[in-house]
Amino acid sequence: MAEAKKGNQQTVTLLDNESGKKYDLPVIPGSTGPKVIDVRRLYGDTGYFTYDPGFTSTGSCESAITYIDGDEGILLYRGYRIQDLAEHSDYMETCYLLLNGDLPNTEQKTKFVHDVTYHTMLQEQINSFYSGFRRDSHPMAVMCGVVGGLAAFYHDSLDITNARHREIASYRLIAKMPTIAAQAYKYSVGQPFVYPQNDLGFAENFLHMMFATPAEKYKVSPTMAKAMDRILILHADHEQNASTSTVRLAGSSGANPFACIAAGIASLWGPAHGGANEAVLDMLNQIGDKKNINEYIKKAKDKDDSFRLMGFGHRVYKNFDPRAKVMQQTCHEVLGELGIKNEPLLELAMELERIALEDDYFVERKLYPNVDFYSGIIFRAMGIPTSMFTALFAVARTVGWISQWNEMIEDPQMKIGRPRQLYTGATERDYVPEAKRKAK
């Protein structure tokens, strides 16, 4: 491929060495980051599709929400550095930023917090959904079901062409997700649901619904609430990852937002994505002791062994995950403020990190701890059960999913997502009647 500039339009020339034909493909710059080659007309002009399993070189949409520079370890929400938001902002303000593009002034923030907060309660009949699940159901299974089911209750916010409907659906999803997740936990331990309290902050309210019981007063620790708020900020959006792309793809057919977010939750559940925080804790428990670390590092490097170091590696970050740095610091703060000393799992995690980062296999492949490596340890210190870790990720990511969904619906170029394939199956053949089929 050769690069050229036609007038002001940069192009890349594709040479088909079979036919000798040349095709000019336009190059489009973003506001920052790599330019993209526009292949929208490629099939029509050349008869070829591109082939990119896992979308490692494919931009699926135009977006102005989140920017990642994986080589430099940069993550920006609407241009703001994640470290600054984690230090100075709060989750509600970050939600406003992701949804609307700018930080709110005081009046806008007050209204937004009010509007979202007054959607925290669930329609009472939704509560009876839960009793259809086994008590030992994974909370993510419950979340997929209950969130998808919201579409059956909120008929007044399903018209995706109506901006007001989209706004109400967005507020409902952000506000109700903590209630749904906390109730999944309460159901699993056989305790009554604790209703939301709208005089509490977002993170505080979630922790209250998780840990309070109707039998006695419960005061949420400000340290825990602050740490939880920060964790929510760090997980709020992450560009076109698997679950976000799932939400966009589901939404591209015109499906309602509740169904789309349920699809995102399903995608997040996998251990290569949001399920990694739970998998990190399982892995640390499996390793059990510092003396076993080398054995597990060996397993992680063995191509014949399916074991991977969970919480290590990232498709985009090849230097460090900026969220992991903030998370590591938060982890120490939380353990310190909660007076948790000599936490064996944390010590094991630190030692594992140290050994892996000095190992050529991990260094050469640029495998660094990601956000999930530390979040699990903080959640554990807070008393949150392992099975709830990914549900918490879903609570935080809902604003990212819904912001991206809104952006897609408002995009005049929106089309139903419909990838093509490289077909390698049987070519056309005649049907063989059963009596004439050969024994295998």
Torsion of CA 191, 197, 203, 209, to 10 degrees: 0
Which of the ranges 95-103, 221-229, 369-377, 402-410 carries the binding residues for ligand CMC, by CB under 6 A? Answer: 369-377
Residues sharing a CB contact under 8 Å with residue 324, sequence separation 6 or more, in sequence order: 368, 369, 370, 371, 373, 374
* Minimum CB–partner distance for residue 303 and ligand CMC (Å): 7
* Minimum CB–partner distance for residue 175 and ligand CMC (Å): 23
Exposure pattern of 184-205 as b/e (b: 16+ CB <10 Å)? bbbbbeebebbbbeeebbbbbb
Which of the ranges 36-44, 224-232, 304-312, 378-386 carries the binding residues for ligand CMC, by CB under 6 A? Answer: 304-312
Among 98, 236, 309, 395, binds ligand CMC (CB under 6 A): 309
Q: Which is nearer to ligand CMC, 258 or 312 (CB)?
A: 312
Question: Binding of ligand CMC at residue 311 (CB under 6 A)?
Answer: yes
Q: Which is nearer to ligand CMC, 226 or 273 (CB)?
A: 273
CA nearest 120: which of 186, 169, 166, 178? 178
Among 4, 163, 272, 363, binds ligand CMC (CB under 6 A): 272
Question: Binding of ligand CMC at residue 315 (CB under 6 A)?
Answer: yes
* Minimum CB–partner distance for residue 56 and ligand CMC (Å): 7
* Minimum CB–partner distance for residue 57 and ligand CMC (Å): 12
Question: Binding of ligand CMC at residue 276 (CB under 6 A)?
Answer: yes
Among 201, 251, 274, 322, binds ligand CMC (CB under 6 A): 274
Q: Which is nearer to ligand CMC, 152 or 272 (CB)?
A: 272
Among 95, 97, 263, 300, binds ligand CMC (CB under 6 A): 300
Say if CB 195 and CB 182 are below 8 A apart.
Answer: no
Among 236, 331, 371, 378, binds ligand CMC (CB under 6 A): 371
Question: Binding of ligand CMC at residue 314 (CB under 6 A)?
Answer: yes
Q: 3-state SS string over the chain?
A: CEEEEECCEEEEEEECCCCCCEEEEEEECCCCCCCEECCCCHHHHHCCCCCCHHHCCCCCCCCCCEEEECCCCEEEECCEEHHHHHHHCCHHHHHHHHHHCCCCCHHHHHHHHHHHHCCCCCCHHHHHHHCCCCCCCCHHHHHHHHHHHHHHCCHHHCCCCCHHHHHHHHHHHHHHHHHHHHHHHHHHCCCCCCCCCCCCCHHHHHHHHHHCECCECCCCCHHHHHHHHHHHHHCCCCCCCHHHHHHHHHHCCCCCHHHHHHHHHHHHCCCCCCCHHHHHHHHHHHHCCHHHHHHHHHHHHCCCCCCCCCCECCCCCCCCCHHHHHHHHHHHHHHHHCCCCCCHHHHHHHHHHHHHHCCHHHHHCCCCECHHHHHHHHHHHCCCCHHHHHHHHHHHHHHHHHHHHHHHHHCCCCCCCCCCCCCCCCCCCCCCCHHHCCCC
Q: Which is nearer to ligand CMC, 178 or 311 (CB)?
A: 311
Rounded CA separation 405/399 (Å) = 10
Among 90, 278, 372, 407, binds ligand CMC (CB under 6 A): 372
Q: Which is nearer to ligand CMC, 194 or 279 (CB)?
A: 279
Q: Which is nearer to ligand CMC, 26 or 70 (CB)?
A: 70
Question: Binding of ligand CMC at residue 313 (CB under 6 A)?
Answer: yes
* Minimum CB–partner distance for residue 276 and ligand CMC (Å): 3
Among 249, 310, 395, 396, binds ligand CMC (CB under 6 A): 310
Total number of residues that touch ligand CMC (CB under 6 A): 19
* Minimum CB–partner distance for residue 267 and ligand CMC (Å): 10
Among 154, 185, 312, 401, binds ligand CMC (CB under 6 A): 312
Say if CB 366 and CB 304 are below 8 A apart.
Answer: no
Applying the rule CB under 6 A, the residues between 131 and 150 that interact with ligand CMC are none
Question: Binding of ligand CMC at residue 73 (CB under 6 A)?
Answer: no
Q: Which is nearer to ligand CMC, 107 or 304 (CB)?
A: 304
Question: Binding of ligand CMC at residue 273 (CB under 6 A)?
Answer: yes
Question: Binding of ligand CMC at residue 349 (CB under 6 A)?
Answer: no
Question: Binding of ligand CMC at residue 370 (CB under 6 A)?
Answer: yes
Catalytic residues: 314, 372
Name the residue with tokens 């403020």: 337
* Minimum CB–partner distance for residue 323 and ligand CMC (Å): 8
Kindly write out the interface string for residues 236-255 of this chain, putting x where it contacts ligand CMC by CB under 6 A and - elsewhere: -----x--------------
Residues that bind ligand CMC (CB under 6 A): 241, 272-274, 276, 300, 308-315, 365, 367, 370-372
